[in-house]
Chains A and B, each alone.
Chain A
């Protein structure tokens, strides 16, 4: 009898350990959004987008970046190079508008459109919507350098997400996104992105460095560097088409 009780106790511990070891991956994915989205305030920063392509000089672009995650808006105002100065990207609801001061006109773009001549997509500058856009199709573990990671394979919940399939590596200790692979509808690996130098501000995180390696166009790499980060509340007028026109006057 004593042996039976001991066996049952051991079995119960084992079962509970097994279940305890299986984390809630939905919650892990939601935590990525939760940790990187600034719901209580606005964000402003300066970004530098550097694109390296074979046989051409590096293309370096600087922009002022404003983001309001509560309304899923952002505005990017290009400062350098001179030829692109004043051009802007404004995301309102699900639409992204590109403003060109030389024509004075706005053109509608999609999130999956390329940002300028880089390997970044317009959607790379919006707040994280992983748990909203994707469902988990498989899970696993792995290592990235010395870091232990959860590896999740994600499938788009609808046919409007930029990448129908993504594979993401999440730091087990912090719950932050470290790497992602983006696949085409035909299941071709299109790009690998690395997220690093996370800055912690008021319990939230922002990757100060993102490196996007294009896997289709050989040797094309884009890095996005975020600097001069600020959490000051921005006027509502910043996220308007009128603002982009006004700063160009």
Chain B
């Protein structure tokens, strides 16, 4: 009989003890599997949903600074960007030219609300046309008139219906007050907490008129990639290529960092900035990563406690089985084999706990992913089709498996070595 088989048999001899120790390990893993799964699910849904609401997965902007210190966001042509995208063979599904305004006042006959506002092309086959979930009205021939599309939440705030007039008040690019009237053409599904990011959409040239920009101009060149996960990689390559062409760029950073550079720097002509979806989501992602880290630290603390338990348990086991060890040694089992017998027991116990905890965690995630959360309207940006996405991180599982199996073995090492050091005569003499 091999040492490993003996270890497995020994575990089954003390069922209650094995169950309690393995259960503690399983519980720890259950918790971390659920936390990792939920945060992974929320990030994935958030990425997918927000990428529908922002002007691209990779975003290029141009800014001019006037002699009075005013920063004007404007791009007059996109050929240089398109050439770079084509040259690098960036795998994109759509490129967009949009005019984005951070905050405008949407004014109806009943109420006023403040939103971001984007001038876009919402024609057939465009990214937004396909991704926006229209709940009322239609996007057909949207680009040909003074149409506006807003979210369900904003519709409620403004107390408007399809066909109603909405006045949009904003500053022009040079800071003058302006107002343009639009007609509510379509309402899209409320993105909940991300509503301010989503805002309202209207045809590009009408938003340009509001901003006192010429027809055909825009503020943002956006690239929607086939794989969102590659945004940073392609963003870095694109930035390098454009810089090599001599285009001046602000240092990479988030939106706030670029605003700071706008304020602190002086330049002539157009200076460009490049962001990716990750730059925009970095804050939210940071929260989830911190949550994962906290969960991992709690797990480590839990396992330190479990390790102490394992060490004590195995000290007891060695004490109880001293005569047995003596017999095995007398029958010819070598010291390393005796030590390994206990180590195997501990590792098998750990592995059993890990597998059970992981399976239980996945089961909980599956059950949670079945729950219809359509009533959770404010947070539907974190959902996919009103459900939490089932997300199991096998990488994290592998890491946990190695760490926990290692810790369990480490915890049992001291008693195991002690058992291995016992001489047969000494062990057989004990009266336990």
Contact = CB atoms under 8 A, between A and B. Distances in A.
Decide whether A and B assemble into one complex.
yes
A161 interface: yes
B177 A112 contact: yes
Interface string B102-146: 000101010010000000000000000000000000000000000
A185 B176 contact: yes
Interface string A75-103: 00000000000000000011100000000
Interface string B151-188: 00000000000000001010110111111100000000
A19 to B, nearest CB: 36
B262 to A, nearest CB: 8
B91 interface: no
A42 to B, nearest CB: 24
Contacts of B337: none
B70 interface: yes
Given A94-B69, A108-B263, A216-B169, A160 B174 contact: yes
Contact-residue bracket for chain A: 20 to 34
Contacts of B169: 184, 190, 216
Contacts of A163: 176-177
Interface in B336-365: none
A1 to B, nearest CB: 63
Contacts of A182: 177
Contacts of B232: none
Nearest to B68: A94
A110 B171 contact: yes
A160 B70 CA distance: 9
Contacts of A157: none
Nearest to B174: A159
Interface in B182-202: none
B171 A184 contact: no
B125 to A, nearest CB: 32
Residue from B68, B107, B178 whose CB has the most chain A CB atoms within 10 Å: B178
A162 interface: yes
A112 B179 contact: no
B174 to A, nearest CB: 4
Contact of A159 (B105, B167, B176, B180): B176
Nearest to A97: B263
Contact of A160 (B107, B176, B180, B263): B176
B212 interface: yes
A188 interface: yes
Contacts of B68: 94, 160
A145 B177 CA distance: 29
Nearest to B70: A160
Interface in A46-62: none
A175 interface: no
Interface residues of B, number: 21
Chain A contact residues, majority secondary structure: loop
A156 B177 CA distance: 12
Interface string B249-279: 0000000000000010000000000000000
A87 to B, nearest CB: 18
A186 interface: yes
Contacts of A190: 169, 177, 179
A156 B176 contact: yes
A52 to B, nearest CB: 13
A159 B212 contact: yes
A162 B212 CA distance: 13
Nearest to A161: B176
Contacts of A220: 112
Contact of B176 (A112, A113, A218): A112
Contacts of A111: 175
A229 to B, nearest CB: 29
A217 B178 contact: no
A111 B175 CA distance: 8
A217 B105 contact: yes
Contacts of A156: 176
A184 B112 contact: no
A186 B174 contact: no
Contact of A95 (B69, B105, B172): B69
Given A184-B169, A216-B107, A217-B112, A160 B212 contact: no
A110 to B, nearest CB: 5
A163 B177 CA distance: 6
Contact of B178 (A95, A113, A186, A218): A186
Contacts of A186: 178-180
Interface string A160-173: 11111000000000
A216 B167 contact: yes
A217 B212 CA distance: 22
A185 B112 contact: no
9 contacts: A112-B171, A159-B172, A159-B174, A159-B176, A159-B212, A160-B70, A162-B177, A184-B169, A184-B179
Shortest 5 CB-CB distances between A and B: which pairs? A185-B178, A159-B174, A184-B179, A188-B179, A217-B112
Given A159-B174, A188-B167, 12 more contacts: A111-B175, A112-B177, A113-B171, A160-B66, A161-B176, A162-B175, A184-B178, A185-B212, A186-B178, A216-B169, A217-B107, A220-B112
